[in-house]
Amino acid sequence: MNVHNVQICSVAYTGVYRNGGYIMRIGIRAHDVAYAPLDELIPNIHKQGFHCMHIALTKSIKEFKPGVETMTPGLAMYIKELCAENKVDVAVLGCYLNLCNPNPEKHKEIVEKYKAHIRFASILGCGVVGTETGAVNEEYKYEPANHSDEALQCFIDNLRPIVKYAEQFGVIVAIEPVWKHIVNTVERARKVLDAIGAKFGHTFTYDEILMGGCSIDATGVPLTDDAIAHAKAADAVLMGSIGGNTATSPWYKLEPSLRPEAGLLKLRKALNLFANLRPAYLYEELKEACPLRDDIIGDGFDMMIMRELTGGLYFGERKTEEVDGVMTATDTLTYNENEIRRIAKRGFDIAMKRRRKVTSVDKANVLDSSRLWRKIVEEVAKDYPEVTYEHMLVDNCAMQLVKDPKQFDVILTENMFGDILSDEASMITGSIGMLSSASLAEGKFGLYEPSHGSAPDIAGQDIANPIATIL
């Protein structure tokens, strides 16, 4: 059976077949919405504009009591009917159990619960059971031994019969790497995939491309033409963080066009990745790390920054020269109406799937480029009467992000402003290291990456959180 039965998973999504191809629909974890009865939870997910969800029964449903005996076909059918009424699909059934529990009796119980989740998912019409990867102790907590080769082998050995069982029901088992668990990095996740693949006759193909510092070390340039060709041939690109220590790394003694970040700009331009989506939301677990007061945070915030990525100051003509005996640097900020219109349409499209509000950010009181930006955004807005929109000067927006972040839904802005504002927005979530990012081209192609850069100060310590890359 040549089916990919194990996948890396963290985000809920479903695919809809339309016009000869599949369209991905982004969903939400149900326990990030509310801990509530089913007849409140699922309608609430629909009201928030989501069409699919990741649901972990014990974390999401207020009246649910965990156990094999409670995961009945009747409950599955009831959830299925309630989802149909509210036009919400179940993309992932969460199963947060420790497959490496060292207690034999508890491990036996856990295996039976996994099987119950697989049967339940099959009846529910959900093709994926998502799981974390556990710990080598009964308490399900971090200890250094979780990251050992022995722990990884334990997880692989215990996962194999679960995957075999899932195959009988046409269900995929998806693993979620978490820094404190056994599978804590993308590399270890790949080892799991390869081990399971070898057992069941699957083949996974990976095409790795060098960019940034590693490319400089290997080729002398941050991005080669061959690397670009490989990226263009792919369906999508998953990119890691780039850069190094700007004070000590020899990469930053090179001229600017040969530094790591130059490779990133070149890649964006070559792939025409004009639309950068940077979500900023506050995890309940990170409320303590948010620098804002509790009365400002409230019940959290959830915004999307839509940043134009291939125009503006970063891609304009630049030079440094001597003028009248004085060294003078010039950077040119240029936008045409077509560039503005296409990013504005993407911003309003995203808003239609969220809370239907767009805040267009510019500096129209000073810059000609911003005045054109504002004019084109107003033209695009006429095609989206359901969306409320407003203009906001960038300095005011920077202030409002810390004063009242809950007011924002979609922030639409140009390249440099988006770079600065998205970093500010990420910081008030408690950690830029937790946030993902997508850069999209005109068609279906996209590049996906963490919002943050590299962290050379903690390199090799095995403490960096991979969640932004996974998301």
At 406-430, the pLDDT tens digits run 999 999 999 999 999 998 988 888 7
In this structure, is the dihedral angle defined by the CA atoms of residues 99, 105, 109 and 112, taken in order, positive or negative?
A: positive
Burial of 257 (0-12, 13-18, 19+ CB in 10 A): exposed
Domains of the chain with bracketed CATH: 6-200 (3.20.20.150), 213-470 (3.40.718.10)
Among 237, 225, 306, 233, smallest CA distance to 266 is for: 225
pLDDT higher than threshold 80 for residue 23: no
pLDDT of residue 17: 38
More confident residue, 185 or 81: 81
The pLDDT assigned to 66 comes to: 66
Tens of pLDDT, residues 88-102: 889 899 888 899 999
Walk across the sheet containing 388-393 and list its strands: 237-238, 446-450, 436-440, 275-281, 302-308, 410-413, 357-362, 388-393
For residue 314, indicate whether it is catalytic.
Answer: yes
Per-chain mean pLDDT for the chain: 84
- Does residue 133 have a pLDDT over 50? yes
- State the pLDDT confidence band at 462, using cuts at 50, 70 and 90: low
Averaged pLDDT, 129-138: 90
> Which pair of tokens denotes residue 331?
């950077």
User: DSSP assignment, residue 384?
Assistant: -
H-run or E-run covering 257: none
Which of 32, 194, 349, 423 is catalytic? The answer is: 423
Report which of 373, 242, 265 is spatially closest to residue 315, judged by C-alpha positions.
265
Nearby residues of 119 by Cβ (< 8 Å), 6 or more positions away: 71, 169
Active-site annotation holds for 395: yes
pLDDT score of 371: 98
pLDDT in tens, 34-43: 777 888 888 8
Catalytic one of 114, 281, 314, 389: 314
Q: Which of 89, 302, 409, 419 is catalytic?
A: 419
C-alpha closest to that of 432 among 269, 281, 318: 281
Catalytic residue among 266, 363, 389, 409: 363
pLDDT at 20: 42
Residue 43's Cβ-count burial label (10 Å; 0-12, 13-18, 19+) is: middle
Residue with tokens 């990420």: 426
Crossing angle for the helix pair 368-381 and 337-352, to the nearest 10 degrees: 50
Q: Is the pLDDT score of 234 beyond 60?
A: yes
Residues 262 and 256: beta-carbon distance below 8 Å: yes
Tokens of 380: 């695009």
pLDDT digit string (tens) for 204-220?
666 788 888 888 989 99
Query: What are the helix (H) ranges across 221-282?
Result: 225-233, 260-270
Longest dimension (CA), the chain: 84
Q: Pairing mode, if any, of strands 89-95 and 52-55?
A: parallel
- The yes-or-no answer on residue 423 being catalytic is yes
Q: What is the pLDDT of residue 470?
A: 60
The least confident of 76-80, 152-156, 258-262, 363-367 is 258-262
H-type alpha helices, 138-248: 149-168, 186-200, 213-219, 225-233
Of the listed 368, 395, 404, 462, which one is catalytic?
395
Q: Could you tell me the two tokens for 319?
A: 């030079």
* List of E strands, 96-158: 128-131
Residue 249 has pLDDT above 70, yes or no: yes
Whether 164 and 129 have beta carbons less than 8 Å apart is answered as no
Is the distance from CB of 39 to CB of 25 less than 8 angstroms? no
